Amino acid sequence: MPVITNIEDLRILAKARVPRMFYDYADSGSWTESTYRANSADFQAIKLRQRVAINMENRSTASTMIGQKVAMPVAIAPTGLTGMQSADGEIKAANAAKKFGIPFTLSTMSICSIEDVAKETGGHPFWFQLYVMRDRDFIARLIDRAKAAHCSALMITLDLQILGQRHKDIKNGLSAPPKLTIPNIVNMATKVRWGLGMLGTQRRGFGNIVGHVKGVENMGSLSEWTAKQFDPALSWDDVEWIKNRWGGKLIIKGIQDVEDARLAVNSGADAMIVSNHGGRQLDGAPSSISALPAIVDAVGKDIEVHMDGGIRSGQDVLKARALGARGTYIGRAFLYGLGAMGEEGVTKALEIIHKELDLTMAFCGHTQIDNVDKGILLPGTYPV
């Protein structure tokens, strides 16, 4: 086993262990992937101010996100097909997050169902992410299932009314479970650890959908149903209906524009996530970190602002916090850990990010994460 010291080490190991179809699904963007790359590159352009001769004892990265205590201002982002990176992947990631003391968010398009995760994590509250589809009766039942599972927040994703063109997914023929084509069989035959895990579980389809929607009993009918169900007519009226049906903490995901941020405030949501869907939707959109400051300036006093996109280190978390994000989300970073080493890998990813966050905060002259602001950044290197 190689020595793992950073998220890049986990990515390299995941690439070696996860079938190409599912690794590419996690590690890619839409069209030219310019926004996908910018999400990380724009973090790197921001420089930090080192301070010295300051007492660095008694440090704490503990904070809150939507009023819930967190060990660090990081949550696991909702990612589709997580259970295809590693068998029962959503359960493994949720357990790692629970033990670490941060939120886990389950995607509508997960492999393990809401009920699976609730049962296997001992009923520990997690967050549930909702895609709004044409079948409003199904959406209502999904919300009710999340309530029954004691999810402590509902996250509505608004930036996937239609699907961005992702070239790698099209070329790989992405499906869950994977289609048994000759190239797929040959590739999967080299991923022995992954294959043995999949043989040990029955969870290989979209657990929140199959068996819960009339006429969707297999993967063939699911593909047809999904293509028809994402709702291009989604509006803020739908958000109001969902909010009333849910009745609990609500997070709006997919905000990139100040005007939309103000509409999110008007919706009555508890938080919004500045996000471009990991560069997987509108290629050519700004990076999340570059879009963050203007949105914080416009609505930060009225709603809790979070962000995702491009976070690969604890330094990235600290920079986002300095620019006004109350919370951050990691998607690919935890998926690399999951694909590399299962639950142990997710835990390792969280440990790496936490250590980097803690040490960098100290080098910048702070001991409490809630006291960090733009003062830790070198003027002229960060977006305003």
* Rounded CA separation 183/173 (Å): 10
Q: Is 121 annotated as a binding residue?
A: no
- H/E element, 331: none
Is 309 assigned to a binding site? yes
Answer yes or no: are the C-beta atoms of 213 and 108 closer than 8 Å. Answer: no
143 labelled as ligand-binding?
Answer: no
Query: 25: annotated binding-site residue?
Result: yes
Question: Is 124 one of the catalytic residues?
Answer: no
Query: Do the bridges between strand 105-106 and strand 127-131 make them parallel or antiparallel, or are there none, so unpaired?
Result: parallel
Alpha helices in the chain, H assignment, sequence order: 7-17, 20-26, 34-45, 89-100, 114-120, 136-148, 167-172, 182-188, 192-199, 219-229, 236-246, 258-266, 288-299, 314-322, 332-363
Q: Is residue 308 marked as binding? A: yes
Who contacts 93 (Cβ-Cβ below 8 Å, separation ≥6)? 76, 82, 104, 334, 338, 343, 346
- 79 marked as part of a ligand binding site: yes
User: Is 36 part of any known ligand binding site?
Assistant: no
214 annotated as belonging to a binding site for a ligand: no
Neighbours of 262 (CB within 10 A): 16
286 is in an annotated binding site: no
Q: Was 136 annotated as part of a binding site?
A: no
- Annotated ligand binding at 17? The verdict is no
Q: Is 275 annotated as a binding residue?
A: yes
Structure tokens at 252: 């709006």
145 is in an annotated binding site: no
Q: Of 277, 306, 354, 366, which is the active-site residue?
A: 277
| Terminal CA-CA length for the chain | 43
Tell me: is residue 37 an annotated ligand-binding position: no
Give the integer Cα–Cα distance in Å for 111 and 89: 8
Is residue 212 part of an annotated ligand binding site? Answer: no
C-alpha to C-alpha distance for 374 and 34, rounded to whole angstroms? 27
347 has binding-site annotation: no
353 neighbors 330 (Cβ within 8 angstroms): yes
382: annotated binding-site residue? Answer: no
Distance, in Å, from the CA atom of 300 to the CA atom of 261, rounded to the nearest integer, reads 10
- d(CA 272, CA 286) in angstroms, rounded, equals 17
Peptide bond into 177 cis (omega under 30): yes
Annotation-wise, does 51 bind a ligand? no
Task: Say how far apart CA 4 and CA 57 lie, in whole Å.
Answer: 27
Say if residue 20 carries a ligand binding annotation: no
Closest alpha carbon to 332 in 2, 82, 88, 20: 82
- Name the residues annotated as catalytic: 277
Q: Could you list the residues known to form a binding site for FMN, using ranges.
A: 78-80, 107, 129, 157, 253, 275, 308-312, 331-332
Q: Could you list the residues known to form a binding site, using ranges.
A: 25, 78-80, 107, 129, 131, 157, 166, 253, 275, 277, 280, 308-312, 331-332
Q: Could you list the residues known to form a binding site for glyoxylate, using ranges.
A: 25, 131, 166, 277, 280
